[in-house]
Structure 1
Amino acid sequence: MNEELRCIGCGAPIQTENPEELGYTPNAALKKGEETGEVYCQRCFRLRHYNDIQDVQLTDDDFLRLLNQIGETDALIVNVIDIFDFNGSVIPGLHRFIGNNPVLLVGNKVDILPKSLKKSKMTQWLRERAHEVGLRPKDVLLTSAKKASDIHMLLEKIEQYRKGKDVYVVGVTNVGKSTLINAIIKQTAGVKDVITTSQFPGTTLDKIEIPLEDGHCLVDTPGIIHQYQMAHYLGKKDLRITAPTKEIKPKIYQLNAGQTLFLGGLARFDFVQGERTSFIAYVSNDIEIHRTKLERATDFYEKHRGGLLQPPRPDEIADFPELVRFEFSIKEKTDIVFAGLGWITVTTPCVVAGWAPKGVDVVRRKALI
């Protein structure tokens, strides 16, 4: 294939191998494009014909280059994170790259959390977690791409803080950033007006510019791959099971010390030491939780993973990483978080352990709920 072939929409080098990466176009579309002299990558094609922005993934090097570019601009940074997976969706060291640019922190997918949770408490919790990782956002906003009123509020906040500047939207993969951008386009452009690439001037290989009324742009950047997310170890079918799309229903377990909970075959929670107490699991409603004795938990896992304990599926066991143990001594109400999968709230002082696939983080944090 001619290596110099580039997308006329965004300038990305055309490739036909990996749908997740920049410049992907299917072989059939490439042949058609070469005949007409208009070769678009799939991302630009879908934007041009369907008003649809697809997320693509950057390597760490690409992302560092992009972050440095953003640091040199004078813009508002909208950092989208997944409220259900804060630890898995925060961008490490973002504050070091963005210079003096103001940050609007947007907690997306708020519709997944229990409705009983007060938004004011959640916003405060989100601000505290942001401060812990060095971010000092101008404002914190909770949103759902599914609710038009939330998108309207987000647009109002963007207008309030951008002060006539460009806006850069950044986030790791799987936080729903592209869905949010599409909802913004739908609301600002009107559903009936088909947006074409001609309305997206100067798009470069790593970002798409959406014009604002005053001549500035809202810039969509590709999703950054976060190395510690559970999603990297799952097939597409299992991603649908583990990533909740509806309000999660908390599951409460009364446990004695020496008992274990398995979250499918993806993670494990041990109650090591303490008085009988309750633990609350916040994971996708589609994940089955199994209880067993701690002393036989390892044998139970070896025997049942890929069967009773799914995901992973039987044909994925060979490639699935071993589970690694993290122990915690708990003094107050705390969440034990399995990055990208959910968390278990520990309600009283005790010793517990969380297990996750090698490479996936298990961390403690102040209880969200």
Structure 2
Amino acid sequence: MTEEIRCIGCGSVIQTEQKDSLGYTPMSALKKGEETGEVYCQRCFRLRHYNEIQDVALTDDDFLRLLNEIGTKDALIVNVVDIFDFNGSLIPGLHRFAGNNPVLLVGNKVDILPKSLKRGKLTQWMKERAYEAGLRPTEVVLTSAKKNSEMIQLLETIEKHRQGRDVYVVGVTNVGKSTLINGIIKATAGLQDIITTSQFPGTTLDKIEIPLDDGHFLIDTPGIIHRHQMAHYLGKKDLRLISPTKEIKPKVYQLNAGQTLFLGGLARFDYIRGENQGLIAYVSNELNIHRTKLINADDFYAKHVGGLLQPPREDEVSEFPELVRYEFSVKEKTDIVFAGLGWITITEPGIVAGYAPKGVEVLKRKALI
């Protein structure tokens, strides 16, 4: 049996197969490390040399263990969610593990939303959804990990709520948590020059501690895989395709009843009954939308998924979940939300249906714009 090798930075078992899992290092780096006697996982290597924190995925059991530990501490919990995929990025049952600790809810990626979406309206909507999920955040903050000024404001908010305690940053995968942590490091290092790579002890295999001025720590935790994220079904290329990096440009479609829109091959919107109206799609600028007749939509999808309707790609179609249908009656200006993809705004009354991969939610909400 081969003796296991552990990362000297965080203690995780070194492995060379799964890039997004704990302990990953390329084989070439492992061989170099064995020669020098200093083997680091890629996450610790990048942290040590480039001040970059990479997110890795924990199993559900690992994450539950971590959450249970957080509940026993006196700490501020910073829960990072993706504004674009709010429901898909909420941590199920977080309120049960927080104990008496305050939770700061941080909506990341605000920079990609259309400027016509008012921050106050979005913050209120997030607060209402959090309450529905049993979470009672002390404050809801919108931010962009890409903007230094936003990171400084976020740090000030964290400072206001932590009151001399440690801070645990938690989030599911793909919410931009590692970018946000790196943004905080950059903003802090730029301001006070207090952070150097040597000050990031990878204390255990599941968290990294970033020292604060008063001897406490901002603790980065790996992301949990949320089974109901659209991202869970996509490869990295397609994930970049559906995850906007620039401000979304709304796309307007004039639809009659009996017409269908396909969002790539990932989701579908049927306009079943109602007057001719303009619908507005808020999705990644890179995602192609195809219009067809509702009567032909099933056959159209079966024929073109993986080809004209991408993602998924042709070689992924057999593994891709079936699309599940949700029907909605619309009486006022409404958003039909496809978790992880975006939403379609309906301005007039009608009957519509939304489809998404099995396990991914389609929701109705009062229009945010």
Q: TM-score range by the shorter chain?
A: over 0.9
Report if aligned partners of 2:188, 2:195 keep a CA contact under 8 Å in 1.
Answer: no
* Matched position secondary structure for 2:365: strand
1: CA distance, partners of 2:229 / 2:3: 33
Once the two structures are superposed, residues 323-349 of structure 1 have per-residue CA deviations (whole angstroms, 9 ceiling, x without a partner) of: 221112223332221111111122233
* Matched position secondary structure for 2:151: helix
The question of 1:75 aligning with 2:109 is answered no
Residue type of the alignment partner of 1:189: A
* Matched position secondary structure for 2:337: strand
Report if aligned partners of 1:47, 1:195 keep a CA contact under 8 Å in 2.
Answer: no
Report if aligned partners of 2:76, 2:168 keep a CA contact under 8 Å in 1.
Answer: yes
Name the residue aligned to 2:196: 195
Q: 1:219 to 1:194 in 2, by over 3 A?
A: closer
Residue type of the alignment partner of 1:350: G
Name the residue aligned to 1:212: 212
Q: By how many angstroms is 1:322 displaced?
A: 2.0
Q: 1:75 to 1:343 in 2, by over 3 A?
A: same
Alignment TM-score, normalising by the size of structure 2: 0.96
Report if aligned partners of 1:271, 1:353 keep a CA contact under 8 Å in 2.
Answer: yes
* Matched position secondary structure for 1:78: strand
The question of 1:17 aligning with 2:17 is answered yes
Name the residue aligned to 1:113: 113
Q: 1:354 to 1:212 in 2, by over 3 A?
A: same
Residue type of the alignment partner of 2:234: L
Residue type of the alignment partner of 1:85: D
The question of 1:92 aligning with 2:83 is answered no
Report if aligned partners of 2:44, 2:202 keep a CA contact under 8 Å in 1.
Answer: no
Q: 1:25 to 1:202 in 2, by over 3 A?
A: closer
Name the residue aligned to 1:355: 355
Once the two structures are superposed, residues 224-258 of structure 1 have per-residue CA deviations (whole angstroms, 9 ceiling, x without a partner) of: 10111111221221111110000001112222211
The question of 1:258 aligning with 2:258 is answered yes
Report if aligned partners of 1:74, 1:101 keep a CA contact under 8 Å in 2.
Answer: yes
Report if aligned partners of 1:334, 1:366 keep a CA contact under 8 Å in 2.
Answer: yes
Q: 1:201 to 1:241 in 2, by over 3 A?
A: closer
% of aligned pairs identical?
Answer: 77
Q: By how many angstroms is 1:87 displaced?
A: 1.1
Which structure 2 residues correspond to residues 27-38 of structure 1 after superposition, within 5 A? 27-38=27-38
Q: How many residues align?
A: 368
2: CA distance, partners of 1:16 / 1:185: 28
Q: Any stretches of 5+ residues in structure 2 without a counterpart?
A: none
Residue type of the alignment partner of 1:11: G
Residue type of the alignment partner of 1:129: R
Residue type of the alignment partner of 1:255: L
Once the two structures are superposed, residues 142-179 of structure 1 have per-residue CA deviations (whole angstroms, 9 ceiling, x without a partner) of: 10011111001000000000000000001111111000
Residue type of the alignment partner of 2:310: Q
Report if aligned partners of 2:242, 2:284 keep a CA contact under 8 Å in 1.
Answer: yes
1: CA distance, partners of 2:119 / 2:202: 39
2: CA distance, partners of 1:291 / 1:233: 23
The question of 1:168 aligning with 2:171 is answered no
2: CA distance, partners of 1:133 / 1:101: 17
Q: Any stretches of 5+ residues in structure 1 without a counterpart?
A: none
Q: By how many angstroms is 1:194 displaced?
A: 7.4
* Matched position secondary structure for 1:47: helix
